[in-house]
Amino acid sequence: MRIFMTGGTGFVGSALTQTLTQGGHRVTVLTRSVRPDRVLPQGAEFQEGDPTEPGAWQEQVPAHDAVVNLAGASIFTRWTRKAKETLRESRLRTTRNLVNALEESKGPPAVRFLSTSAVGYYGFCGDEDLTEESPPGGDFLARLTVDWENEARRAEETGASVALLRFGVVLGGGEGALSRMIPLFRKYLGSPLGSGTQWFSWIHVHDLVSIHRFLLERPDIQGPVNCTAPNPVRNRELTKALADVLGKPAFLPPVPGFVIRTVMGEFGNVLLKGQRALPERLTKEGFAFEYPDVRNALEDLLGSA
Residue 13 predicted with pLDDT over 60: yes
Q: Is residue 233 part of a domain?
A: no
Q: Is residue 16 part of a domain?
A: yes
Q: Write the DSSP string, 6-70.
A: ESTTSHHHHHHHHHHHHTT-EEEEEESS--TT--PPTTEEEEE--TTS--GGGGGGGGSSEEEE-
What's the one-letter identity of residue 160?
A: A
Q: Say what the pLDDT of residue 223 is.
A: 98
CB distance 272 to 194 below 8 Å: yes
Q: Say what the pLDDT of residue 104 is.
A: 82
Q: Say what the pLDDT of residue 192 is.
A: 86
- With a CB cutoff of 8 Å and minimum separation 6, the contacts of 44 are 8, 17, 20, 21, 26, 27, 28, 29
Q: Say what the pLDDT of residue 183 is.
A: 83
- List the domain range (segments joined by +) for residue 165: 2-172+202-228+276-290
Round to whole Å and give the CA distance between 5 and 163.
Answer: 15
In three-state form (DSSP H/G/I as H, E/B as E, the rest C), the secondary structure along 211-249 is: HHHHHHCCCCCCEEEEECCCCCEEHHHHHHHHHHHHCCC
CA distances from residue 72 to 54, 85, 91, 117, 135 in whole angstroms, order as listed = 16, 12, 5, 10, 23
Number of domains composing the chain: 1
pLDDT mean over 213-224: 97
pLDDT tier, 107 (very low <50, low <70, confident <90, very high otherwise):
low
Residue 130's DSSP bridge partners are 277
- With a CB cutoff of 8 Å and minimum separation 6, the contacts of 15 are 172, 205, 206, 209
Q: Say what the pLDDT of residue 106 is.
A: 67
Q: Is residue 237 part of a domain?
A: no
Lowest mean pLDDT among 40-44, 170-174, 209-213: 170-174
pTM for the predicted model, two decimal places: 0.94
Q: Is residue 26 part of a domain?
A: yes
Q: Is residue 255 part of a domain?
A: no
Residue 194 predicted with pLDDT over 60: yes
Residue 304 predicted with pLDDT over 70: no
Report the CATH number that the domain containing residue 33 is assigned in CATH.
Answer: 3.40.50.720
Q: Is residue 248 part of a domain?
A: no
Q: Is residue 33 part of a domain?
A: yes
DSSP state of 95: H
Round to whole Å and give the CA distance between 248 and 99.
Answer: 47
Lowest mean pLDDT among 30-39, 70-79, 82-91, 200-209: 30-39
Q: Is residue 235 part of a domain?
A: no
Q: Say what the pLDDT of residue 59 is.
A: 94
